[in-house]
Structures are given as C-alpha cells and as structure tokens.
Amino acid sequence: MNFAPALPLEVFDLIFSYFKDDDKGLWYRLSLINHNWYAAVTPRLYHTFKNNGDYSERERLWQFLQTVIASPELAAHVKTVDLQHCLKYTGPKSFCLAQFLCSKYQHTIQQGIARSGLSDLQESPLKHALLNDDRRPLVAMILAFLPALETLYMHVSEPDPYLRAIFPYLSLHSLNGPGSNLKVFQQLKPLFLAADEQASGGKDPIRIDGDIPFVYFPALHELNLLHVNLNPHVFSRTTRIHHPNGVSPLLSNVSIVLHKDTKLEGFMGFLECIPHLINFSVSFSNTPDSEWAPYGRIALWKRLSRFESSLRSLDLYGMGEPSLQPDTDKFCAPVWKFSELKSLYIEPTVLAGNCVDHKPPVQLMHHLPGGLKHLGFYGYKKTACRQKGIPLTRKRLGQGGLYSEFARSSFRHSRPYHPGMQQALLDIAGHLPRQ
C-alpha cells in the first residue's frame, strides 16, 4: 500500500498565508491526504484560546480544560490565552448551567484538582464554588496545564485562593509529564492583568506579594498591571537581597495603574528591581498626596535616572501639583537627560516643576531632549498650558502621535467604562510642523 507523501511544512505555510487570522472557519475544514497536514494544522488550531465569559461561551471553558488535561501534546501548542472578563456575572440562569456542567465534567474536575495543586485546598468548598458559577478554580486549573504559554490576558479577582494555591506548586514542578524540561509560566513573555471591577466592586486591587509572583517569571519582557497593589515588604531592599527569585532580567516594558491603597514605598522598590527599561507608563491618579510627602516628586526621577540612555517612551499621569512651599527644593523634571527618549506624555505642571527661576512663559525647549518626536500633555485643552504659561509653538518636534502610550498599553484589556478612559489628553504634537 502506498503512503501519502510527506510534503515540506513550507508548502503548508504558503497555503495558510492566504488566510487571515479570523478565517479559521474556512481553513480548519480543509483536509489533505498527507503525513504533514495535521502536523502543520494542529499548532495553528491550538495556538490561541479566548473566552470572555459570555453565557453562550461558558461550556468552552470546561471543554478546553478537558482537552489540556487529557492531551498534554495539544496543551503544549497553546501559546496565547485571553481570559478578559471571563469571571463576569451573566445572570441567574448561569447557576443552573454551572450545576449541569459540574455534573457533565465531574471526572475532569477530579483530575484537574488532583494534578494542578488545588488538592491542597478542601475539596468540598472548591466544588461548592464551581456549583455556584465561580469560575476562578476553572481558570486556575487551565493555567496549570499550559506549559508553553507565552502571552496571557486576564482579569483577576481578589482574593483568589485558587491562584495562590497553584503558584507554589507550579514554581517547583512541570505538569507535562516525567522528564519534561518545560515548566508552566517559564516561557511567559507579555502579561496583561487587570483587577476585576465587577467581582470586587472596584475595591480590591491585584496584590503582588510573595504568593502571587507575577513579576518573577524568568522570560517576562512586558508587564501590564491595571489597578495593582505592590507589597512594600516584597520589594524592600532587605527582602530583595534574600529573595530566591528576582524580577525578570528581560523585563523592559512596564505599564501600571496604581491602586489607591498602594504605598509608594512598594512601587519605588519595584522600580529599583527592574534592570533595564525601554517603555514605561504609570498612572498615579489614585495615589493620595500624603504618599508623596515623604519622597517628593523628585524621588521618581532619581530612580528613573538609571534609564537615561535606554528609555524610549515615558508616560506619567496623575502626579499632581509639585509643592510650592518656601522650604521645598527647586526642581525641574530632568527629561532632557533622557537621550533616547522619543515619546513623552506628561502633565505640564509636572514637566515644568516648581522651579521659580522659570518665569512664564516657560520654554519647553529647555526641558526636552533633542530627539523627541511625540509630545502629549494631560489636562484640559483650555487650561493645561495656561497655568504655566507654556507656549504651544515648537519647531523642533517631528510628527506627533494622536493618543497616549498609556492608553494604548493599559486600556486594551480594561473595561469600556473604566474611569481612566475619561482623562483628558491635550496632544500638541499633532499640531506642530514637521522638521
């Protein structure tokens, strides 16, 4: 009997190049009598899993968990998982569906609990949570069986005892079978996490502490945290010296919205842990002035000074008014020292600082690096620059951007009604002449 030839995989790559990413409804039905056909199709079929928690999509969570538990070879192909809004409430009918799914996938639940690290929790409360449409155990178990995961988008509900239960287990073991050198989360590169406002009422932030090591994944190079509380003890100088892990040495892109309960001590300690920074975006809009009192705004610039030759994009929002008290040291934001900076979004009062030597109108040329191409001011269009007498005519800047780097990086996984979306951005660069 003649066997079908094994065509080169490049042939199948050429076939798939004619389809768009959203054309799976067309190409997954294709079939060729060829040994390499399924070898080419399978990585594409299982590359991405997305579930937004809609009622009609609810069973897909259970089906996916069943697949990755029963077929580790398929789980190894999953590179991207998008679970934004996966935990959302979809009405009372969800409880009936949850009870039906718990019964239908009872064996899957037992396997998942036994092999994911959740066996350390009491089984009865865990199953009770699933019966009441609490999807947090499902999410924890799914993540525990994805050894090759590279990109994760997810809303996190605090407190989450299930995530906290699996992390210690995953840091020590691989769930991909004996002899495997793959460890869960060891290959995670971009990570996008947001606090789930619906589950917590907007009160509970993502808590980064010793039990939730989001920042310690070794391959991590991009970190986006929306409404986060950084534990000061975890990032204190004493703890960092004795901590067995450390912030990923590859981490260079950071976007953070600080929760109102975050102590600046924790944030400053985290910033000191980052070895190399290229793109940095942070919102202090929820940070009370009392937190700045022991440090002053200059403390942030001192910690950023390590990145004067590497930082290319800087976005600072909500730092507030600099102190104008007589005993306060004169200070101007040393943005001009960042020689590689190409994009800057900032409040004009923060840029100009409190240096009384600069009488209005304040000349931006004295505050900006020569290679800057994008400049955006946060504030209201009529008052943002008037209060500092800053003129809006600049010849040295090139083509300007239209939106904030912070908006692009952080809001891609936030809810549409998030209050931060209402911030006003005055982007003057778009109105400036090209060089």
Q: Shortest CA distance to 230 belongs to which of 195, 260, 270?
A: 270
Inform me whether the pLDDT recorded for 328 exceeds 90.
no
Inform me whether the pLDDT recorded for 409 exceeds 60.
no
Looking at residue 181, its amino acid is N
- Find out whether 426 and 379 touch, Cβ atoms under 8 Å: yes
Sorting pLDDT into bands at 50, 70 and 90, what band is 164?
A: confident
Three-state SS for 140?
A: helix
- Average pLDDT estimate for 227-255: 73
User: If you search the block for the tokens 């990086």, which residue do you land on?
Assistant: 409
Alpha helices in 17-145 (DSSP H): 24-27, 37-45, 58-70, 72-75, 93-104, 106-116, 123-131, 136-144
Sorting pLDDT into bands at 50, 70 and 90, what band is 363?
A: low
User: What confidence score (pLDDT) does residue 18 get?
Assistant: 66
Three-state SS for 344?
A: strand
- Find out whether 273 and 247 touch, Cβ atoms under 8 Å: yes
Inform me whether the pLDDT recorded for 5 exceeds 60.
no
Q: What is the pLDDT of residues 336-354, one digit of tens each?
A: 899 999 888 887 778 777 6
Q: Tell me, rounded to whole angstroms, the distance of Cα 168 from its chain centroid.
A: 21
Half-sphere exposure of residue 413: CA atoms within 13 angstroms, side-chain side: 30
- Find out whether 285 and 318 touch, Cβ atoms under 8 Å: yes
Inform me whether the pLDDT recorded for 176 exceeds 50.
no
Gap between the Cα atoms of 339 and 336, Å rounded: 7
Q: Tell me, rounded to whole angstroms, the distance of Cα 289 from its chain centroid.
A: 26
Residue 80: beta bridge partners?
A: 48, 151
Share of the chain above pLDDT 90, in %: 27
User: What confidence score (pLDDT) does residue 236 get?
Assistant: 66
Enter the tokens of residue 53: 């928690």
Q: What is the pLDDT of residues 54-97, one digit of tens each?
A: 999 999 999 999 999 999 999 999 999 999 888 888 788 899 99
Helices (H) and strands (E) in the chain, counts: 17, 12
Three-state SS for 157?
A: coil
Inform me whether the pLDDT recorded for 211 exceeds 90.
no
> Considering only 230-239, 282-291, 306-315, 388-397, which range has the smallest mean pLDDT?
388-397
Q: CA torsion, points 7, 13, 18, 19, in degrees to nearest 10?
A: 110
Greatest Cα-to-Cα distance within the chain, rounded to the nearest angstrom: 93
> Can you state the angle between helices 161-170 and 136-144, rounded to 10 degrees?
10
Which residues 6+ apart lie within 8 Å of 14 measured at CB? none
- Angle at alpha carbon of residue 191, lines to 372 and 146, rounded to 5°: 150
pTM: 0.79
Enter the tokens of residue 192: 């996008």
Instruction: Answer with the residue of higher pLDDT: 12 or 328.
Output: 12
Q: What is the pLDDT of residues 127-151, one digit of tens each?
A: 999 999 999 999 999 999 999 999 9
Q: Shortest CA distance to 142 belongs to which of 82, 221, 220?
A: 82
User: What confidence score (pLDDT) does residue 366 get?
Assistant: 65
Listed by start position, the domains of the chain span 1-46, 47-393+405-430
Which residues 6+ apart lie within 8 Å of 36 measured at CB? 6, 7, 8, 9, 12
Enter the tokens of residue 419: 């209050």
Sorting pLDDT into bands at 50, 70 and 90, what band is 402?
A: very low
